[in-house]
Every structure is written in structure tokens, then in C-alpha cells.
């Protein structure tokens, strides 16, 4: 019995010693202090390689770079070429200037569309009839023909005839509503902005066409003097159609012509001449105690010498 008690006591003593050694080792580790913080790495800033004007699209040759400490880098500085190349400046920059987010138009903005226009080309908005559903049919980058309808009068006069002509052929669509060739999905809206944009599209759907200056003038005149419609065409169809215009009368060849009856000319009203009253004078004649009043025409009396 005594040996069993001695054995238990020995085991407890060994456990106590092990616990003391473990605690001591943990305290020793803590005495070494926190791990050293790694030194912050430099960041690479994107700089303007030369002076650039607003609305310029930045290319790889337009930028340089410089590594600086993070604590002196501007908060909105761009630090990677992919953040700069292909974007459009909205303000001029000078050589060596650090490029920041504020220097560039937001991705998908209309500034990108304007910068994408080649020299001599124009983007013109065409209002379309919402009942046609043309906005659902078209997409940015597709091609259309522009049809123009109006009333024309022949050289010999007569009633005006409705006519439709193909005004322009194979014109590229660069925007449908707020979706453009540079932002096919449209801008990023909040929920309220999306509802407002949809309401605007429903009220006034618009399509933007890519034309030259002369075509822009023709479209502007056509919109003022008649109606414009768009017809979608295959983008691989390079053949110009031989459309020469269509008169309404040519669509109804079997319909007999019915001349318009002339408007009746009203008869002239009968004019009744106004006759001036004849001047007269009166006199009283007394005969045998009787009084009698007589009237005489002054002109006659004068002519007869009775005056």
C-alpha cells in the first residue's frame, strides 16, 4: 500500500515539473516582443510622357512611370498601364504630371464616343416613333438605310403627292438610347437612375447615326420637312440598292383617278343702290276760308321758275 502512494506522489511531482517548464517556455517566447513589420513596398505611378490635350485617347507611348513611396503617392493616382491606356482625358495634362482618376472620363461615357469619331465624321441623333419598336430591333454597331417620306408637288402644279425615298444607305448606328459602341451595355445606373432612364427612353427613343457633314445636313433638313424611318440591313451587304423613290399612286395602279371637284365660287351679293331723298318744300294756300297744304319738289320748282 505504501509503495502505491509513493508512486502516485512521484507522478504528480513529474506533472508539476512539466507544467512549470511549459509555462516558462511560453513566457520566454513572449519576452522576445512582436514580429517585425515588413517594410512597405514602393508603388509605380503613371505619368504623362508629354503634354496632352483634353479629349485625347491615351496610348502606350503617351505614358511613363516612376516608383515612389506609398506615403507620397496621390490617393487617386493610377498605378497600372491598363488603368490609363485607351481612356479619354477630360482635362489637359503636362509632361511628367501624375495621372489620376479625375483626369479621365468615366468608362462608357459619351466622351469616349466623341473621341472614337474619326476626323470628318459626325454623330447625329434621330428621334424614332416608339410605336415602331425600332429601338428593340437595332443595336450599337449595326447598319441601317434611312428612308424619308414627304409630300411633293409636280412642276405642273396640282395636288401634292406622298413620296418615300431612300435618303442614305449603309449608315452605321453608334448608339441606341444610352447604349453605345464604346459601352454596349450602357452606363451603370442606380435603381432610381435606371427607372428614370427607362422612362426617358419610353417617351423619346433615339438612335444615333454615324455620318459625314453633308449627310448630317441632309438628315437635319429631312427631319424638318418630313418623316424619317430606319431599315435594318445585313452588315455584310455592301451593294447599294437601286431605289428611286416611290409615289403613293404607284402603290394603287388599279385605282381610278378621281379629280378633286373645284370649290364652288359663291355668287356676288346683290347690291341695292341707295337713293338719296328728293328735297321738297311745303306751302299753305288759303281759299275762301279753307286752308290747304301742298308740297313741291325744290329741283322741279326751281327748274320751272316757280321758286
pLDDT digits (tens, 9 = 90+) for 235-293: 888 888 777 788 877 777 665 555 445 556 556 555 555 555 656 666 667 676 677 77
Same-domain status, 124 and 96: no
pLDDT attached to residue 6: 52
Res. 10 pLDDT band, cuts 50 70 90: low
Same-domain status, 227 and 126: yes
With a cut of 50, say whether residue 190 has pLDDT above it: yes
User: How many domains, the chain?
Assistant: 3
- What CATH number does the domain containing 100 carry? 3.90.1210.10
pLDDT attached to residue 218: 92
pLDDT attached to residue 271: 52
Range from 27-31, 197-201, 238-242, 298-302 that averages highest in pLDDT:
238-242
Residue environment code for 56-69, b if the CB has 16+ CB neighbours within 10 A, otherwise e: eebeeebbeeeeee
Select from 57, 81, 104 the last residue of a domain: 104
**Domain span at 55:** 43-104
Q: Quick one: average pLDDT of 91-108?
A: 88
Which cell numbers hold the place of 101? 482618376
Same-domain status, 159 and 239: yes
Q: Quick one: average pLDDT of 88-98?
A: 91
- Quote the CA–CA distance of 231 and 66 in Å, as a whole number: 53
With a cut of 70, say whether residue 137 has pLDDT above it: yes
pLDDT attached to residue 303: 45
With a cut of 90, say whether residue 160 has pLDDT above it: no
**59 vs 188, which has greater pLDDT?**
59
Nearest to 230 by CA among 144, 307, 150, 298: 144
Same-domain status, 124 and 240: yes
Same-domain status, 176 and 72: no
Same-domain status, 88 and 126: no
Same-domain status, 237 and 123: yes
Q: Provide, rounded to the nearest whole percent, the portion of the chain with pLDDT above 90.
A: 20
pLDDT attached to residue 65: 92
| Residue 65 Cα distances to 50, 77, 92, 277, angstroms | 12, 12, 18, 112
Res. 33 pLDDT band, cuts 50 70 90: very low
pLDDT attached to residue 178: 78
pTM of this prediction? 0.55
Res. 42 pLDDT band, cuts 50 70 90: confident
pLDDT attached to residue 142: 92
Residue 274 domain-assigned? no
Residue 211 domain-assigned? yes
Residue 16 domain-assigned? no
With a cut of 50, say whether residue 74 has pLDDT above it: yes
pLDDT attached to residue 168: 92
Neighbours of 52 (CB within 10 A): 21
| Residue 210 Cα distances to 96, 103, 213, 224, angstroms | 36, 27, 10, 19
Same-domain status, 140 and 222: yes
Amino acid at each position: 500500500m505504501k509503495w502505491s502512494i509513493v508512486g502516485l506522489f512521484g507522478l504528480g511531482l513529474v506533472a508539476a515539473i512539466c507544467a512549470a517548464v511549459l509555462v516558462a517556455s511560453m513566457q520566454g517566447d513572449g519576452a522576445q516582443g512582436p514580429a517585425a513589420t515588413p517594410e512597405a513596398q514602393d508603388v509605380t505611378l503613371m505619368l504623362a510622357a508629354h503634354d496632352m490635350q483634353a479629349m485625347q485617347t491615351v496610348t502606350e507611348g503617351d505614358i511613363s512611370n516612376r516608383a515612389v513611396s506609398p506615403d507620397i503617392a496621390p490617393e487617386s493616382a493610377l498605378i497600372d498601364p491598363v488603368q490609363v491606356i485607351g481612356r479619354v482625358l477630360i482635362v489637359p495634362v503636362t509632361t511628367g504630371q501624375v495621372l489620376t482618376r479625375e483626369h479621365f472620363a468615366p468608362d462608357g461615357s459619351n466622351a469616349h464616343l466623341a473621341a472614337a469619331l474619326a476626323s470628318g465624321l459626325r454623330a447625329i441623333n434621330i428621334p424614332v416613333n416608339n410605336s415602331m419598336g425600332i429601338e428593340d430591333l437595332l443595336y450599337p454597331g449595326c447598319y441601317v438605310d434611312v428612308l424619308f417620306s414627304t409630300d411633293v408637288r409636280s412642276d405642273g402644279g396640282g395636288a401634292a403627292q406622298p413620296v418615300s425615298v431612300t435618303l442614305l444607305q449603309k449608315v452605321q448606328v453608334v448608339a441606341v438610347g444610352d447604349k453605345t459602341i464604346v459601352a454596349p451595355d450602357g452606363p451603370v445606373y442606380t435603381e432610381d437612375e435606371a427607372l428614370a432612364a427607362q422612362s426617358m427612353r419610353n417617351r423619346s427613343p433615339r438612335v444615333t447615326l454615324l455620318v459625314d457633314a453633308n449627310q448630317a445636313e441632309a438628315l437635319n433638313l429631312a427631319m424638318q420637312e418630313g418623316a424619317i424611318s430606319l431599315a435594318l440591313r445585313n452588315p455584310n451587304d455592301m451593294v447599294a440598292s437601286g431605289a428611286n423613290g416611290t409615289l403613293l399612286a404607284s402603290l394603287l395602279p388599279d385605282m381610278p383617278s378621281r379629280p378633286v371637284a373645284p370649290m364652288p365660287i359663291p355668287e356676288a351679293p346683290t347690291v341695292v343702290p341707295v337713293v338719296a331723298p328728293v328735297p321738297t318744300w311745303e306751302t299753305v294756300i288759303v281759299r275762301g276760308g279753307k286752308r290747304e297744304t301742298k308740297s313741291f319738289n325744290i329741283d322741279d320748282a326751281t327748274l320751272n321758275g316757280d321758286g
